[in-house]
Structure 1
Amino acid sequence: MKYDINPSSKSSFDPENHPSVLRLLSYNIQAAIGTSSFHHYVTRSWRHVLPDWRGLQRLDRIGQVLAHYDLISLQEVDGGSLRSGFVNQVAYLADLGRFDYWYQQLNRNLGRFGQFSNGVLSRFVPFEIEDHKLPGLKGRGAIVAKYGNDEHTLVLVAVHLALSEKARNRQLEYVREIIQHYEHVIVMGDMNCRADQISSTPINSHLMQVPGDHHTYPSWKPTRNIDHILVSPSLKIRNVKVLDCDYSDHRPISMEVALPKPLALALIGKIPQIS
């Protein structure tokens, strides 16, 4: 499903400072619940339903992290229900970081008890945004944002994949079909599998670059690399790292990529001027 684009009038992004380097981040924020030990999944389980006054503090700290990036994929965001104090966390974080564009994808609608969502924050205004429901059990989705123009297009796919290998492979095949005709592609999110497992899935036929072992889960002692940023060969990876943040049960993973000059110029043309 495609949606109209409604950018804001101001930008906090200065293309003159770094016109060809894109700062990417993927973060499963666990609705700012703040799990920092395995026993918290039990003792703090009430936070999945009821509001916690410290949740907004954690959200503010998450926002401080996000403010340093250009394109962000968020997973396990609440779209405004009891547990978040009826705060749309995607919109809140976008406002906090002065992002020019945000999009919330609602995947599980439990009414006032939960608005389970994915989100995209962007300092660029996409010329097209698509909302995809991934194959498998309900509740998994992909946001597809296209930047630049018809000649020089950057495609961002923000995902949260299934736990089971069979379902993930079906979902990655679905993503492969979306990106197969594009040269410049970024796929990022909580993929619930290791980097070496991704290399043997259908998406690898698109020759996506899969950086190695960057452990993101659990945040208090990371031993699993299940959050990933995959990029096409046309984008040169400059830096990849996991940030030392404990506001969720996942740590965020970041990447800097250098863009080909024609693509960089196309993206700059889509950034509103700073007033």
Structure 2
Amino acid sequence: MRFLLYNIRYATGNGSRFHFPFPYAGYLRHSHAIFEQILGFIQAVQPDIMGLVEVDGGSFRTGRLCQAEIIARQFGFYHVIETKYGSSSVASRIPLLKSQGNAVLTRMPIISHRFHYFDEGVKRLVIQVCTERLTIFLVHLSLTYRNRQYQLERLYRLIRRVDRPMILAGDFNVLWGVRELELFLGATGLVSANPEKKPSHPSRAPKRELDFILHSPELKVTHFQIPAVTYSDHAPLICDFEF
């Protein structure tokens, strides 16, 4: 079973051109060209499950098309996508921001799914997806240390209810280092698929380990890699599991 985690940055690009002619100008451009490259990468990787962070659900950047739906249709995946911001958030009412979400895609049928929301932070979404044999959680945690700690506490309460094999993946934004996760990992019993702590950000010269694939002990990692792919500011994580 191959799991792909990728913060695709809405397929808006990377590098110095992203900030030309002004900082973060790339967010305001059409994303078709880079999205086609990401599709080619997915085709080459052939994942069974994908956790995609920063997915465009249908803004002007994509011609009002949902990137997750395009991927699901092209590769024959089941999928769920939702905006990152809670319904009470101001961001959920801004035309561009309300299309910014996260998505889980899987070749196996999705038996059930739920959207949970943190009480803290701007990015609040937790996607929970259940297939026949596996539960997947996908997150994008806060940039603020204190909010991340509250969010991890909430994640712990969600995870302890699950008594089957699981994967918790996402962009954890642990800007203070992986030590932020030590208590969480100890309490949950989850294990990082990246024991060598290979960095994934920024993708052109990775220095920080911000993206994580955590799994329950019932799953055995047979292969892990972070390929040198620079379509986004984050590099993708690829992990092969056995039950």
Q: TM-score, normalised by structure 1?
A: 0.77
Q: Percent identity?
A: 26
Whole-angstrom distance in 2 between the partners of 1:201 and 1:25:
25
Instruction: Please name the residue that 1:227 is paired with.
Output: 211
Whole-angstrom distance in 2 between the partners of 1:26 and 1:198:
20
- Partner SS state of residue 212, structure 2: strand
Instruction: Please name the residue that 2:74 is paired with.
Output: 96
Instruction: Choose from 39, 42, 65 the match for 1:66.
Output: 42
Distance 1:147 1:57, change over 3 A: same
Aligned 8 A contact 2:219 2:241 in 1: yes
Instruction: Choose from 14, 19, 23 the match for 2:2.
Output: 23
- Partner SS state of residue 131, structure 2: strand
Instruction: Please name the residue that 1:155 is paired with.
Output: 135
- Partner SS state of residue 179, structure 2: helix
Aligned 8 A contact 2:204 2:233 in 1: yes
Whole-angstrom distance in 2 between the partners of 1:243 and 1:131:
30
Structure 1 segments (4+ residues) deviating >6 Å = none
Aligned 8 A contact 2:2 2:241 in 1: yes
Q: Does 1:113 align with 2:90?
A: no
AA aligned opposite 2:5? S
Whole-angstrom distance in 1 between the partners of 2:145 and 2:179:
9
Q: CA-atom RMSD, angstroms?
A: 1.9
Aligned 8 A contact 2:165 2:219 in 1: yes
Instruction: Choose from 185, 197, 222 the match for 2:179.
Output: 197
Deviates more, 1:116-125 or 1:132-141: 132-141
Deviation at 1:110, TM superposition (A): 4.6
Instruction: Please name the residue that 1:83 is paired with.
Output: 61
AA aligned opposite 2:165? H
Larger RCO (alpha carbons 8 Å, 6+ apart): 1
Aligned 8 A contact 2:19 2:25 in 1: no
Instruction: Please name the residue that 1:168 is paired with.
Output: 148
- Partner SS state of residue 134, structure 2: strand
Aligned 8 A contact 1:63 1:97 in 2: no
Whole-angstrom distance in 1 between the partners of 2:146 and 2:5:
23
AA aligned opposite 1:32? A
Whole-angstrom distance in 2 between the partners of 1:63 and 1:236:
28
Q: Does 1:180 align with 2:163?
A: no
Instruction: Please name the residue that 2:12 is paired with.
Output: 33
Aligned 8 A contact 1:155 1:179 in 2: no
AA aligned opposite 2:155? V
Distance 1:95 1:178, change over 3 A: same
Matches within 5 A, 1:123-162: 123-148=107-132, 153-162=133-142
Aligned 8 A contact 1:216 1:251 in 2: yes
Whole-angstrom distance in 1 between the partners of 2:12 and 2:139:
20
Aligned 8 A contact 1:172 1:201 in 2: no
Whole-angstrom distance in 2 between the partners of 1:200 and 1:131:
26
